[in-house]
Amino acid sequence: MDCAASEISDESLISAIRTGNDAAFAQLVGKYKRRVFGLAARFARDNDELDDICQNVFIKVYEHLPSFRNDAPFEHWLTRVAVRTCHDALRSRRHEKNNVRLDDRAFEIQDKAEKARDEARQAREILKFALSRLTPNERLVITLMELEGLTVKETAAATDWSEANVKVRAHRARQALKRIVEEHNER
Amino acid sequence: MRDKADERLDQLFAAARAERIDTAALEEHFETRLLARIREQRSESIPWYALAWRMLPAFAVVAAAITIGTFTFAPTRSNDLFAAISGDQDETASSSYLIGE
């Protein structure tokens, strides 16, 4: 987070943006871009898609800022916009599961010094593969709760789903992931 | 009831959580790229349907002006119904005479 940007409150920046101050918007983006990039990176396939998702998030913020009410923290609103945009990106590529393949050659270990790092990388690749087999809703909920560490309440707020719905979807997603990982281990 | 698969899954989650994806390179000049895209969107030409929608008040004013003009400058109608009918009859008779009927 940029120190200079963090000194100015969100309310001040938002007020300035509403008067057409693009520099204030750039400051607001600079303040929160790391948070948005971190979240979007969990869903994006590559750097191009990541950049695209992040740009879409902030364009939506820019366009809908006039309707933003200051009764809730800006960061919560931004997270909701980011989650929705990531969800849209997931839904727009439903055929991804047919294209993603686990490349076993990627897991060949070059030497012992790299063993631990490669194991961690292998774990991440397996999870990435397994997540790509889930439905957009399942992937969204499991990513927010298990990887981003959001609570059920926070996930419900970010997705506009009920808490009961979040719990059910998280349970289903976990069961689906377990099946996929077990299938992978059997191979 | 937790089983081995749950433990394996938790290991995978832990490995993924531990990984902080480095996006620093992409974050460089992100604001510049974003503002350029916003400016580009602003300068894009307005589609015809949006233009038509924006012109709606102007269309309404023109329609109202025509309506008012029609009622204001229309020729006054005669209250003498018989004169109007006989006038029409004269016209019909003269045109019939001219074309030889």
Which stretches within chain A are classed as H helix? Answer: 3-7, 10-18, 22-40, 47-64, 74-91, 96-99, 115-132, 136-142, 152-159, 163-186
Per-position b or e across B16-46, b if 16+ CB within 10 A of its CB? beeeeeebeebbeebbeebbeebeeeeeeee
Is the Cβ–Cβ distance between A181 and A130 less than 8 Å? yes
Q: How confident is the model at residue A107 (pLDDT cuts 50, 70, 90)?
A: very low
- Number of structural domains, chain B? 1
Q: How confident is the model at residue B6 (pLDDT cuts 50, 70, 90)?
A: confident
Residues of A in contact with B31 (CB under 8 A): 26, 29-30, 33
Residues of A in contact with B42 (CB under 8 A): none
Nearest to B26 among A47, A124, A149 (CB): A47
Does the pLDDT of residue A109 top 50, yes or no?
no
Subunit contact B34:A38, Cβ cutoff 8 A: no
The token pair at B48 is 């015809």
HSE, side-chain direction, 13 A CA sphere, residue A91:
7
pLDDT value for B1: 63
User: Which domains, and CATH codes, for chain A?
Assistant: 1-93 (1.10.1740.10), 99-187 (1.10.10.10)
Span A78-99, pLDDT tens digits: 999 999 999 999 998 765 555 5
pLDDT value for A2: 47
Residues of B in contact with A185 (CB under 8 A): 8
Residues 6+ apart with CB under 8 A from A137: A87, A169, A173
Mean per-residue pLDDT over chain A, rounded: 85
| Residues spanned by the domain of B48 | 4-98
> Is A22 within 8 Å of chain B by CB?
yes
> Is B35 within 8 Å of chain A by CB?
yes
Subunit contact A33:B37, Cβ cutoff 8 A: no
* Mean pLDDT across A55-81: 91
Subunit contact B27:A37, Cβ cutoff 8 A: yes
Span A20-41, pLDDT tens digits: 899 999 999 999 999 999 999 9
Does the pLDDT of residue B82 top 80, yes or no?
no
> Is B20 within 8 Å of chain A by CB?
yes
More reliable by pLDDT, B79 or A54: A54
> Is B36 within 8 Å of chain A by CB?
no
pLDDT value for A111: 57
Q: How far is CA A151 from CA A21, B2, B53, in A?
A: 36, 20, 45
Subunit contact B33:A26, Cβ cutoff 8 A: no
Find the closest chain A residue to B16 by CA distance: A124
Does the pLDDT of residue A165 top 90, yes or no?
yes
Q: How far is CA B47 from CA A16, A62, B14, B50, in A?
A: 29, 21, 50, 5
- d(Cα A132, Cα A136) in Å, to the nearest integer? 9
* Mean pLDDT across A59-80: 90
pLDDT value for B3: 79
More reliable by pLDDT, B77 or A76: A76
Does the pLDDT of residue A61 top 60, yes or no?
yes
Is the Cβ–Cβ distance between A53 and A85 less than 8 Å? yes
Does the pLDDT of residue B8 top 50, yes or no?
yes
Interface mutation vs chain A, best among B13, B17, B22, most A CBs within 10 Å: B13
Span B16-71, pLDDT tens digits: 888 777 889 999 999 999 999 999 888 876 677 777 888 888 999 999 999 988 88
Find the closest chain B residue to A179 by CA distance: B5
Interface of A with B in 64-93 (CB under 8 A): none
Does the pLDDT of residue B15 top 80, yes or no?
yes
